[in-house]
Amino acid sequence: MNKRIVFLIIICIALLFAGCGSVQKDVAGSDSSIGVQFVRQIVAEDNATCRTIMWQSQVRQDYSVEYRLKCIGNNGVEHDTVKKASDKVGTVFTKAATECSFKEAKTDYLQYQVQLQGLQPNSIYEYRIVTAKSKGTWHSIKTDNDKGFTALIFPDSQSSDYSGWQQLARAAQQRHKDSELYINMGDLVDNGQDGSQWRAWLGSVEPFSADTAFAPVIGNHEAYSLDWQMTPPKAYINLFAVPENGLPEYKRQFYSFDYGPVHFTVLDTNFHEAQGWQPQLLTDELRWLEQDLANSKARWKIVLQHRDIFMYAFSKESGRPERATFFLDFSRQLMPLYEKYKVDVVLSAHLHTYRRRMPLRNFAPAEDGITYILTGVAGNVRYPKLWGDFAWDAARAPQPETANYMTLEVSQEKLLFRAFLPDGKRFDEIEIKK
C-alpha cells in the first residue's frame, strides 16, 4: 500500500479518536462555588482564532482560565495542519485573568476578563474559570469556520421588569440552539447607571452567554444617569470588551468584526445625546466608518446601528400632531457611504416597532437598493399606536405589536432573515442572494 495512503489513514483514525466528545470532562465545581457569575463570551475582531471571556465576581481573588481543544474540523485545510492541531486535543492551557473592575454611580462592578488568542479555526474548545484551589464549570467556544453560521438578533430589551425579556431571550435560544452569535441592537437596559438593571439583563442571558459569542450595540438609554440626564455610558463600555476601534476617546462605542463571510460594522448613533461630551462624534465616526468599510474584503457587509434612518409620522390614534415621515439628518451622511461601499443590510432599533423597508438607494426605493430592517422590540417598553403607516414599509409586525426577535442564517450564497413572535411564530422573512 502507498505510504501516503497509510499516513492519511493513520491521521483519520487519530482524528476520529480525538474528535468531538472524546475529551472527558473533569469532575469540577460550579462557577458560583468560586464566586463567579454572568460569564459572557464577547466577539473579537477575528473570531476564527480569538475570543474574549468576561465575568463578574463576588470576591476579589486571582483567577485564570483553563482551556483545551475538544474537536477540530478539517474544513479543507491541509492534512499536516490538521495533524498539528490534533496533537493538541485535550491539552489544557492556562491564561491568567486581568481584573477590570469599575464603579458607576452607586454600583461597584468587580469583574475580570481574559482574551484567548491563537485558537484553531473551525473548532470547538472548552474553557473554565479557575482559582488556585477550585475550578468552575466547563463552557464551550465554537470558532468561526469562515463559511456559514446562524445568529440571534434581539431588538431593544429595556424594561421596567426584565422577566419578559428573560423569557423571550431564553426561549429564542432554545429554539435556535445552533446559533453561534447573538446581537442586541441597543437600549439593553432602560437606565445605564442602574446596576440592578444590568444584573437583570446579564442574568437573563446567563444560561447561554458563556457559550455563545455576543455583539452589543450601544443605545441612547445606555447613556442615562440615575436622575435621567445624559452622561457618558461608562457601564456599557466597561461591561463589554468589544474589539478596539483605534480611537481611545471613543473606546468600545463603535467597532467592527468578521464572522464567517460577514463583516459587521457596529455604530454609535448617540450623536444628539453625546453633544455635551463628544461633540465631534458624528464627524469622527464617519471618518472611521469609511475606512472600516473600504478595508473590508468580506463577501457580505452588515451595519448595526441603534437609531433608525427614519423618524416616522405619528398615527391618527396617537393624538400627536400630524407630520410626514422623514430621514434623520445623520442618515443623509451615513447612507451614501453604505451605498459607496456596497453594504448589503442595515439593521436598526430604537422605535420599538418592526418594519422591513423596500430596498433603498439614493434616498428612494430601488430594486438594487440596500435592505433596511427596523428590528422591533424585545423588552416590555411599548409604544402602542404611536407610529403611522409608511408606503415604503414592505412588512411590519402583527398588530397590536408585542415583543419579537430575529434570526440570521448566513452562507456564501445568501443571507436569510426571519422575524418571530415570542411564541416562535414566524411573521416575516427575506432572503438576499448574490
pLDDT tens, residue by residue, 35-62: 999 999 999 999 999 999 999 999 999 9
* pLDDT of residue 331 exceeding 90: yes
> Which conformational region is residue 132 in: left (phi greater than 0), alpha (psi within -120 to 50 degrees), or beta?
alpha
User: Alpha-carbon distance 234 to 224, whole Å?
Assistant: 10
* pLDDT of residue 80 exceeding 50: no
Per-residue pLDDT, 51: 98
* pLDDT of residue 11 exceeding 70: no
pLDDT tens, residue by residue, 14-35: 444 444 544 444 555 799 999 9
For the beta carbon of residue 392, count every other beta carbon within 10 angstroms.
14
Q: Which of 391, 312, 395 is nearest to 351 (CA)?
A: 312
Q: What is the pTM of this model?
A: 0.92
pLDDT tens, residue by residue, 131-171: 999 999 999 999 999 889 999 999 999 999 999 999 999 99
Q: Which of 248, 249, 254 is nearest to 269 (CA)?
A: 254
Please state the three-class secondary structure of the chain as a single string: CCHHHHHHHHHHHHHHHCCCCCCCCCCCCCCHHHCEEEEEEECCCECCCCEEEEEEECCCCCCEEEEEEEEECCCCCCHHHHHHHHCCECCEEEEECEECCEEECCEEECEEEEEECCCCCCEEEEEEEECCCCECCCEEEECCCCCCEEEEEECECCCCCCHHHHHHHHHHHHHCCCCCEEEECCCCCCCCCCHHHHHHHHHHHHHHHCCCEEEECCCHHHHECCCCCECCCHHHHHHCCCCCCCCHHHCCCCEEEEECCEEEEECCCCCCHHHHCCCCHHHHHHHHHHHHHHHCCCCEEEEECCCCCEECCECHHHCCCCCCCEECCCHHHHHHHHHHCCCCEEEECCCCCEEEECCEECCEECCCCEEEEEECECCCCCCCCCECCCCCEEEECCCCCCCCEEEEEECCCEEEEEEECCCCCEEEEEEEEC
In this prediction, residue 267 has a pLDDT band, given cuts at 50, 70 and 90, of very high
Residue matched to cell numbers 468561526: 144
Name which residue leads in pLDDT, 110 or 79: 110
Asked if 271 and 223 touch (Cβ cutoff 8 Å), the reply is: no
For the beta carbon of residue 364, count every other beta carbon within 10 angstroms.
9
Q: What would the mean pLDDT of 194-210 be, rounded to a whole number?
A: 98
Q: Helices 281-295 and 331-340, interaxial angle, to 10°?
A: 10
- Retrieve residue 102's grid coordinates: 469599575
Name the average pLDDT for the chain. 92
Write down all domains in the chain, each with its CATH number in brackets: 31-73+91-145 (2.60.40.380), 149-433 (3.60.21.10)
User: Alpha-carbon distance 69 to 84, whole Å?
Assistant: 12
Per-residue pLDDT, 7: 42
Residue matched to cell numbers 437600549: 187
